[in-house]
Amino acid sequence: MSHSTNESEDELLSKDQSDSQSIDEGSCGGSFGGGGAVLKKGPWTSAEDAILVDYVKKHGEGNWNAVQKHSGLYRCGKSCRLRWANHLRPNLKKGAFTTDEERLIVELHSKMGNKWARMAAHLPGRTDNEIKNYWNTRIKRRQRAGLPLYPPEVCMQALTGSHQTQKTDEFNNVDTQQHGLLQANNYEIPDVTFDSLKANQGVLSFEPTLSDIAVSSMLSQGLGSSLNYSFIPPTMHRPKRLREPEHLFPGFNSSFTSGVSPFDQFQSDNCDKIHRPFGLSFPYDPNRKIKKSSPFGARSGSHAFLNGNISTSKPISGPVKMELPSFQYSDIDLGSMGTSPMLPSLESVDTFTQSPLSSGQVQSDCLSPRNSGLLDALLHESQTLNSAKNQSSEKSSSSSFVTPSDIMDGSTPNLCETEWEDYGDPISPLGRSAASVFGACTPISGSSLDDPPLSEALPAGSNVKQEPIEQISVLDGGEKEISAQFDFSRPDALLGAGWLDRSSGCAKAHSIKTGDTLETLLGEDLCNDYKYMTGTSTINQGWGIGSIPWSNMPDACHMSKLP
DNA sequence: AAGTCTGTCAACCGCTCTGGC
DNA sequence: CGCCAGAGCGGTTGACAGACT
Sign of CA dihedral A291, A293, A299, A304: positive
| Mean pLDDT over the full length of chain A | 44
Does any strand B atom come closer than 7 Å to the Cβ of A109?
A: no
Q: What is the mean pLDDT of the segment spanning A324-347?
A: 31
A230 in a domain, yes or no?
no
Distance CA A427, CA A68 (A): 33
Do A154 and A126 lie in one domain? The reply is yes
Do A54 and A101 lie in one domain? The reply is no
Q: Which residue is nearest to nucleotide C10 (CA to C1')?
A: A427
Distance CA A254, CA A540 (A): 28
| Range picked from A61-70, A146-155, A368-377, A412-421 for highest mean pLDDT | A61-70
Q: Which residue is nearest to nucleotide B4 (CA to C1')?
A: A240
Question: Which domain-ending residue is among A90, A106, A128?
Answer: A90
Question: Which domain-ending residue is among A108, A128, A158?
Answer: A158
Q: How far is CA A188 from CA A231, A424, A488, in A?
A: 30, 5, 36
Does any strand B atom come closer than 7 Å to the Cβ of A133?
A: yes
Does any strand B atom come closer than 7 Å to the Cβ of A129?
A: yes
Residue A47: which domain range? 38-90
Q: Is the pLDDT of residue A336 over 50?
A: no
Sorting pLDDT into bands at 50, 70 and 90, what band is A342?
A: very low
Does any strand B atom come closer than 7 Å to the Cβ of A20?
A: no
Sign of CA dihedral A139, A140, A144, A146: positive
Give nearest nucleotide to A80 (CA–C1'). B11
Do A102 and A148 lie in one domain? The reply is yes
A64 in a domain, yes or no?
yes
A244 in a domain, yes or no?
no
Res A160: pLDDT: 61
Do A84 and A129 lie in one domain? The reply is no
* pLDDT tens-digit series, residues A163-208: 444 333 333 333 333 333 333 333 333 333 333 333 333 333 323 3
Sorting pLDDT into bands at 50, 70 and 90, what band is A145?
A: low
pTM score of the predicted model:
0.42
A111 in a domain, yes or no?
yes
Sorting pLDDT into bands at 50, 70 and 90, what band is A19?
A: very low
Sorting pLDDT into bands at 50, 70 and 90, what band is A159?
A: low
Q: Is A24 helix (H, G, I), strand (E, B) or coil?
A: strand
Q: What is the mean pLDDT of the segment spanning A335-361?
A: 32
* pLDDT tens-digit series, residues A55-112: 888 888 777 877 877 777 888 888 888 888 888 888 788 788 888 888 888 888 877 7
Distance CA A153, CA A150 (A): 8
The CATH number given to whatever domain includes residue A45 is 1.10.10.60
* pLDDT tens-digit series, residues A503-533: 333 333 333 333 333 333 333 333 333 333 3
Do A116 and A136 lie in one domain? The reply is yes
Note the strand C nucleotides within 7 A of protein beta carbons. 5-12, 15-17, 20-21
Which helix (H) or strand (E) covers residue A543, if one does? Answer: helix A539-543
Res A157: pLDDT: 66
Give nearest nucleotide to A63 (CA–C1'). C6
Give nearest nucleotide to A28 (CA–C1'). B13
Q: How far is CA A183 from CA A158, A196, A424, A425, in A?
A: 18, 22, 11, 11
* pLDDT tens-digit series, residues A260-278: 333 333 333 333 333 333 3
Domain count, chain A: 2
Q: Is A417 helix (H, G, I), strand (E, B) or coil?
A: helix
Distance CA A45, CA A64 (A): 18
A271 in a domain, yes or no?
no
